[in-house]
Structure formats: structure tokens, C-alpha cells
């Protein structure tokens, strides 16, 4: 199929879908219109989480007039100081879907086992894994992951055996420690993985309040290790101890290491790091606020750029206010970077993810004339439906290769993405860093399609001691692990017309996909949230389908309107002045790229390829990076 026929087919579906909407006289967000905001579930989370807050949570005392956020997110909500802080339970929009109501993976309506995740991948998704070029560049995907690491960290429970797959899969499923119970079975006739004689894919169940934090929350609930707020905690740390370990305590700066004449994040001692120990022959391994930074080039590059940018901001602030202490410089720069990230998320990223008109309609856009109204009744907590399902849909935009592009815009090398996971070594050599960032800026990203790329679908972690993994199988299994309710339940919750048969799905999902699902699931009520959400056509002007749009909007709404320190909230201790807001609103991701790399120019619309938007000279952009509004 050519790209042209592919796009035509997708457009046709979109058209049919729009007609269905028109005929039904509804919109993709009935509830949202009625309620004026997309929050589906107000309140304190499910009753079960009350056990956590009442019996298990740490006690904190808040300074009511503090002008900076705490590192771990506590004391943002003064009535409920733990809301949004790191190491608190994800909330649920719908009841947990477990077979025993507590922790056992759900079964199908007829009592049979759910289809195996890898089988779903092989039958429904892998045949469509061809890459198509997007009009957005790599930064759309990369900023998405960067932003996700600010708000969500659902780590696997590593307290059990080091490798779940060290014994045969049949034994794992019948009799193994709970951490390993969901190791993923690979069919013996797997067209790709049979070459590697692999019958088992590593998978460890997520950490939960009951298993890992001594708190008997039932049904079991995963714990978010990140602060839910966009506060750049992926850069600074989700906890004070981490934050302090990467501060230089000199001039407000973050620690850095100079390698081959360039500034990078400090190097981590190998032992005990999350992502560099799983590969052999790795010499470079960095440290920052979030343990995932070494996962792959793009993410390491972002952490490096924001670290450099923090240090540039401290320099500028010190120039203006020479008397400021290390502490004030650090906190002001941290606040600045947090605010900038919020602006990029809500002004530049969300309109592309969820659709511009939608973000505006539900009040998620950023406008000079309308400041964010903080509402302490909104719980700024992530949902399992979001982290264990809907926000994984953008995994369909991961590219297969990374191009190294030089100053003359020539491709000097192209590397397969999966080969360089957890091995930042090449990033520090020669001009590689700048060439990779230039490549991400000018190369078209992967068009959102209902499939993940071939490599990430088969060979993720290929070079690691853990062996090949399939990101989609892991994502589907994770949803089941954390009790994410099925697709039809979530659709209903969003207020969409009910789906009661596979035939009902035909107005939403292409015929051949419905056919494939019908073959594999016992009933339509058994379909996994991610499976259904991925197969939906994207909403108008957005890059995810309507169910993902609904779940994502809910969380993005919570963590904005429930954030007392959101950058444009007024009337709080430390709220920005109008002049400071004006400066911040004139900055975008392009400024960060220009200030921290040797790029000479960046796209005016930073998420678009240069074919779609004019290029802007970095020299001009940087001249506007004037922080005089911070003069005291
Ligand atoms: C190169 C890019 C990326 C890679 C290699 C990658 C890989 C992964 C892996 C291995 C996991 C853990 C899966 C599990 O054990 O449950 C994960 C989790 C997740 N990813 Fe990605 N991902 C990438 C980009 C993205 C993007 C662009 C988004 C969204 C915009 C995203 C959203 C998520 C979410 C929501 C989770 C689960 C929650 C959490 O722990 O944060 N990822 N990803
Ligand atoms: Ca955060």
C-alpha cells in the first residue's frame, strides 16, 4: 500500500466517523460539553485509596507561605498535602478489573483466559507495522515521553527473582513468585521471535501499595513514584534525596560532567542504575532526576539539554541579581524550567495530541487573557486508565531509526533505534550530540497508525541481558496487571454511545480490525483498553482516538487546575508577575534547543519538519531570552 492509499483509507474512516457523529447528533465528548470541563471523577479517588491516606501515608507539615514547590510535590494542596506528591497511589476512574476483585488478572466474560498479548500483537497489529512519515518531527514524540516522565513512573517490582524468564514459561505461569506471574508467553510459531528460540518475554508486575509499601490497599493499586505535577521532576528528582544528589550547591547549578569538551549530566556509578546495568560494555551512564534517562538517545539528549538550560538560566539570573544565594538561584531556575515545560505541554503539545479545537473547548489551551483558576477540590492524581493504558497510545509514534545530520543537512549516519537503547556512549563522541538533535529536528517522525514500529514490536531490549521484548505486549499486559478496566467500560465512562456487540464497533473501528478482535476475544466486553484505543481513528486535528482523548484530557485537566503552583495561577505566594509571564510566554522548545546545542536554526513551529514551517535563526531567538523581569 502506498502512503497515498493509506492516507486515503484513514481519511475515509475519519469521514465515516464524522458522519456517524453528525447522524447521532452527538459529539466526541458529550460529557465534556455538559460539564464544561473534562474531569470525569471529582474527589479523593476510590474509597480504597482512603486507607492509604488515612493509615499509611507519611505525615507532613506545610509552610503555607512557601513560594517554591517542594521537591516531592507535598503541600501543593494545603488541605490534602499529599495529593499529587511522589509515591502515592494512582486513582481509578472505574472499578479495578481483577478476577478476584483484588489482584488476579481478569478473565473473559465466559470465564476463559484473555487472549495472549503477543498473539494480539501478531494477529492484529504487527501486519500493519510499516512506518509512514508524519508532518511532525521527532520532537513531538520525544517531548511526549519527556513530559510523561515528569508525571508518571510506574516501576516494576524488582524485589523477586532477577529474571522471570530464567525458568520455563509453563512453570512461571503455574507456580512462581507474584512478581513473575505475568511473564509473557511467546508462541512457539512466532514469526519473528522463534528465530531467537525465545518462548518467554520478561515482565514483572508493577509495585503496589500492598506489596511494596506495607499498605493494605485493596484492590491492589500501583504507586506513582513521580510527582503528578508538571514541575520538571524528571530533571530535578521526584524526591529530595535525589534532588540534592544532583545539585552542585554552587551558583544554583545542577552537577555536570565535561566529556570531550561538552557539558553532560553527571555520570552515574554503574552499580544499581536502572537502565545501564542491563547491557554489557557500557561505559557512559548518566544520572538525573528520573532513573529512565539512559533509556535511549532522544531521552538522554532531552535530559542533557534541560540540564544545560537550567545552568544557563542560573547564569542569567545571577548576572541580574549578583546577591542571590545558591538556594534562590536554584529554586528560581527550577521554577522557571517547570513553568516552561507547562507552557510547552499545554500551548504547543496538547493541541497536536488532542486536537486544537478540543483543547480550546475544554479549557486546556493557554491564553494570555484567561489565567488558570486553581481549584483545591480537584485531585491532581494520575489515573491507572491513563498510565496503564491511554497515554501509551503515542508509543505508536516511536521511530525505527535515528539520523545523524550534519551542519549541511547531510545524513552522515542512520542507526536503528533499538540497538542503542541503554547505551549513551556514542552520544558523547565528536559532534554526535548535535547531529542527533539536528536529525530529530529535521526528520519527519513516525505517523500515528494503529501499530507500533517493527523493531519496538519485536526487538526492544534486544541487546540487553533481558532479551527481546515487544513494547505492545508489555503495554497490554501492564494494563491487565494494574486492573485497567476494559475498553467498553472506559468508553461508557467517557459518555460515548454504548458498545454491546462487535457489530456496534463497526462505526468506530475498521472492519478488518473488528473481525480480528472478534476472532480473538470471547466478547466485545473483553477488549483491552489499549487495544481498542489504538485501533480508533485519530480525532480531528489530533493524533489519538476519542477514547484516549477523553482519558488524557481528564488527567491533563486535573494536574493543571489542581496545581496551586501552575505557572499562570494568580494570588498564590510566588505567583509570577505580568512581565515575567510575558517573558515566559515568548519562549518555546526551540529556545532550549538553540541555547544548548550548536544548531544554527530551528523550525518556527518546533514540532513540525522544516518542510512545513519556516526555519528561524537561533541568533535571533536567543536575543529574546532576556530575564530582566526577574531583577529584584
Ligand atoms: C523512544 C521512546 C519510548 C520508549 C523506548 C518507551 C518505552 C517504554 C517502556 C519500556 C515502558 C515501560 C513499560 C512497562 O513496563 O509497563 C514505557 C512506559 C510508558 N510510556 Fe513509553 N516509551 C517511549 C516513548 C513514550 C511516549 C512518546 C509516550 C507518551 C507520549 C510514552 C508513554 C508511556 C507511559 C504513559 C508509560 C507508563 C507509565 C510510566 O511508567 O510512566 N512513552 N515506555
Ligand atoms: Ca512531576
DSSP string, 550-590: HHHHHHHHHHHHT-TT-TT--SSTTPPPHHHHHHHHT--HH
| Helix (DSSP H) and strand (DSSP E) numbers for the chain | 25, 12
Distance 63 CA to ligand 2 centre (A): 20
Any ligand 1 atom below 6 A from CB of 355: no
Q: How far apart are CA 39 and CA 56, in angstroms?
A: 27
In short, whether 387's Cβ falls inside 6 Å of ligand 1 is yes
**Among 87, 145, 303, 476, which residue has the most ligand 1 atoms within 8 Å of its CB, making it the best to mutate?**
145
- Which residue's CA is the nearest one to ligand 1's atom 20? 392
| Digit-coded pLDDT (tens) for 21-35 | 333 323 333 233 335
> Coil, strand, or helix at residue 304?
helix
pLDDT value at position 225?
98
How far away, in angstroms, is 342 Cα from ligand 1 center?
A: 20
Does the Cβ of 350 fall within 6 Å of ligand 1? Answer: no
Distance from Cα 150 to the centre of ligand 2, integer Å: 4
Q: Which of 119, 134, 31, 28 minimizes the C-alpha distance to 508?
A: 28
Identify which has the larger pLDDT, 388 or 21.
388
Question: Which ligand has an atom closest to residue 222 CA?
Answer: 1
Whether the CB of 391 sits within 6 Å of ligand 1: yes
Cβ–ligand 1 contact at 235 (below 6 Å)? no
Quick check: CB of 152 below 6 Å from ligand 1? yes
Q: Say how many Å lie between the first and final Cα of the chain, rounded.
A: 62
Q: How far apart are CA 60 and CA 56, in angstroms?
A: 12
pLDDT tens string 109-127: 999 999 999 999 999 999 9
**CA–CA dist 382, 147 (Å, integer):** 13
- CB 568, CB 406: distance < 8 Å: no
394 lines ligand 1 (CB under 6 A): yes
3-class DSSP state of 603: strand
Whether residue 608 has pLDDT greater than 90: yes
DSSP 295: S
75 touches ligand 1 (CB under 6 Å): no
Looking at the CA of 231, which ligand is closest? 2
HSE-up of residue 42 (Cα within 13 Å, Cβ side)? 8
Task: Encode 179-188: b = buried (16+ Cβ within 10 Å), e = exposed.
Answer: bbbbbbbbee
With a 6 Å cutoff on the Cβ, whether 144 touches ligand 1 is yes
- Identify which ligand lies nearest to the alpha carbon of 389: 1
Nearest Cα neighbor of 88 from 41, 152, 159 is: 152
Question: Which ligand minimizes its atom distance to the CA of 69?
Answer: 2
- CA dist., res. 490 & res. 498, Å (int): 10
Q: Ligand 2 center to residue 24 CA distance, Å?
A: 40
C-alpha cell at 443: 526528520
- CA 395 / ligand 1 centre spacing (Å): 7
Question: CB of 350 within 8 A of CB of 607?
Answer: no
Task: State which H helix or E strand residue 49 sits in.
Answer: helix 47-51
Task: Determine the atom of ligand 1 nearest the C-alpha atom of 153.
Answer: 40
| SS3 assignment for 378-410 | CCCCCEHHHHCCHHHHHHHHCCCEEEEECCCCC
Taking only the tens place, the pLDDT of each residue in 583-600 is 999 999 999 999 999 999
When pLDDT is cut at 50, 70 and 90, the band that residue 332 belongs to is very high
Question: Does 3 have pLDDT greater than 70?
Answer: no
For residue 560 and ligand 1, the question of a CB distance below 6 A is answered with: no
Taking the CA of residue 481 as reference, the ligand 1 atom at the shortest distance is 16
Ligand nearest to the CA of residue 233, numbered in listed order: 2
ipTM above 0.90, yes or no: yes
| Alpha carbon of 575 to ligand 1 centroid (Å) | 33
pLDDT tens figures, 478-504: 999 999 999 999 999 999 999 999 999
Over residues 321-350, mean pLDDT? 98
The C-alpha cell that represents 355 in the structure block: 486536537
Give the residue ranges of the annotated binding site for heme b. Answer: 395
- Tell me which range, 8-12, 248-252, 295-299, 359-363, is most confidently predicted by mean pLDDT: 248-252
Q: Which of 120, 90, 619, 76 is nearest to 385 (CA)?
A: 90
For the Cβ of 139 lying below 6 angstroms from any atom of ligand 1, the answer is no
Q: What is the pLDDT of residues 189-248, one digit of tens each?
A: 999 999 998 999 999 999 999 999 999 999 999 999 999 999 999 999 999 999 999 999
Per the confidence metrics, is the pTM higher than 0.90?
A: yes
Cα 218 to averaged position of ligand 2 atoms, centre (Å): 26
589 lines ligand 1 (CB under 6 A): no
Amino acid at each position: 500500500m502506498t502512503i497515498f492509499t493509506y492516507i486515503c483509507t484513514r481519511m475515509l474512516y475519519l469521514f465515516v466517523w464524522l458522519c456517524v457523529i453528525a447522524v447521532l447528533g452527538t459529539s466526541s465528548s458529550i460529557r465534556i460539553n455538559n460539564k464544561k470541563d473534562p474531569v470525569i471523577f471529582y474527589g479523593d479517588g476510590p474509597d480504597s485509596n482512603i486507607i492509604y491516606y488515612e493509615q499509611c501515608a507519611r505525615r507532613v507539615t506545610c509552610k503555607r507561605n512557601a513560594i517554591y514547590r517542594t521537591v516531592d510535590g507535598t503541600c501543593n494542596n494545603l488541605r490534602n498535602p499529599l495529593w499529587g506528591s511522589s509515591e502515592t497511589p494512582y486513582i481509578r476512574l472505574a472499578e479495578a478489573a481483577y478476577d478476584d476483585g483484588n489482584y488476579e488478572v481478569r478473565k473473559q466474560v465466559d470465564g476463559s483466559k484473555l487472549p495472549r498479548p503477543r498473539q494480539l500483537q501478531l494477529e492484529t497489529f504487527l501486519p500493519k507495522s510499516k512506518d509512514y512519515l508524519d508532518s511532525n518531527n521527532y520532537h513531538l514524540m520525544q517531548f511526549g515521553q519527556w513530559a510523561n516522565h515528569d508525571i508518571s513512573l510506574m516501576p516494576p517490582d524488582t524485589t523477586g527473582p532477577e529474571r522471570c524468564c530464567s525458568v520455563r514459561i509453563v512453570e512461571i505461569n503455574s507456580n512462581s513468585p507474584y512478581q513473575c506471574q505475568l511473564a509473557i508467553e511467546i508462541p512457539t510459531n512466532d514469526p519473528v521471535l522463534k528465530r531467537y528460540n525465545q518462548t518467554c518475554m520478561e515482565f514483572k508486575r508493577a509495585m503496589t501499595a500492598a506489596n511494596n509499601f506495607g499498605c493494605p490497599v485493596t484492590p491492589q493499586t500501583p504507586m506513582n513514584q513521580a510527582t503528578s505535577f508538571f514541575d520538571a521532576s524528571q530533571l530535578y528528582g521526584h524526591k529530595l534525596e535525589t534532588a540534592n544528589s544532583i545539585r552542585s550547591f554552587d551558583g544554583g547549578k545542577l552537577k555536570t560532567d565535561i566529556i570531550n569538551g561538552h557539558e553532560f549530566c553527571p555520570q552515574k556509578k554503574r552499580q544499581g542504575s536502572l537502565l545501564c546495568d542491563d547491557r554489557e560494555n557500557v561505559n557512559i551512564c548518566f544520572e538525573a532526576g528520573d532513573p529512565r534517562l539512559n533509556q535511549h538517545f532522544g531521552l538522554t539528549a532531552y535530559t542533557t539539554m534541560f540540564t544545560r538550560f537550567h545552568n544557563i538560566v542560573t547564569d542569567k539570573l545571577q548576572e541580574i541579581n549578583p546577591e542571590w544565594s545558591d538556594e534562590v538561584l536554584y529554586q528560581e531556575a527550577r521554577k522557571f524550567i517547570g513553568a516552561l515545560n507547562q507552557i510547552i505541554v499545554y500551548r504547543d503539545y496538547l493541541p497536536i495530541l488532542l486536537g486544537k479545537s478540543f483543547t480550546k473547548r475544554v479549557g486546556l489551551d493557554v491564553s494570555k487573557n484567561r489565567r488558570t483558576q486553581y481549584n483545591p477540590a480537584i485531585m491532581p492524581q494520575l489515573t491507572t486508565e491513563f498510565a496503564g493504558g491511554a497515554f501509551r497510545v503515542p508509543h505508536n509514534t516511536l521511530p525505527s531509526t535515528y539520523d545523524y545530520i550534519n551542519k549541511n543537512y547531510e545524513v552522515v549516519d542512520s542507526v536503528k533505534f533499538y540497538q542503542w537503547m541503554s547505551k549513551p556512549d556514542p552520544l558523547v563522541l565528536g559532534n554526535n550530540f548535535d547531529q542527533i538533535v539536528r536529525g530529530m529536528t529535521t526528520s519527519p517522525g513516525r505517523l500515528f497508525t494503529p501499530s507500533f514500529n517493527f523493531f519496538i514490536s519485536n526487538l526492544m531490549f534486544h541487546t540487553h541481558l533481558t532479551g527481546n521484548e515487544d513494547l505492545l505486549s508489555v503495554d497490554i499486559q501492564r494494563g491487565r496487571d494494574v486492573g485497567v478496566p476494559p475498553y467498553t467500560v472506559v468508553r461508557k465512562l467517557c459518555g460515548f454511545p454504548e458498545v454491546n456487540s462487535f457489530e456496534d464497533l463497526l462505526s468506530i473501528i475498521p472492519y478488518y480490525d473488528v473481525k480480528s478482535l472478534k476472532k480473538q476475544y470471547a466478547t466485545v466486553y473483553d477488549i483491552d483498553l489499549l487495544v481498542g484505543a489504538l485501533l480508533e481513528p485519530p480525532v480531528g486535528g489530533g493524533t489519538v482516538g476519542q477514547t484516549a482523548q477523553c482519558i488524557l484530557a481528564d488527567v491533563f485537566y486535573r494536574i493543571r487546575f489542581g496545581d496551586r503552583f501552575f505557572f499562570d495561577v494568580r494570588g498564590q505566594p510566588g505567583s509570577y508577575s505580568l512581565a515575567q509571564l510575558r517573558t515566559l510566554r515568548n519562549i518555546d522548545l526551540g529556545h532550549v534547543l538553540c541555547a544548548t546545542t550548536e544548531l544554527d536554526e530551528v523550525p518556527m513551529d518546533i514540532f513540525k519538519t522544516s518542510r512545513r514551517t519556516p526555519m528561524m535563526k537561533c541568533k535571533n531567538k536567543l536575543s529574546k531570552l532576556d530575564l530582566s523581569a526577574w531583577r529584584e
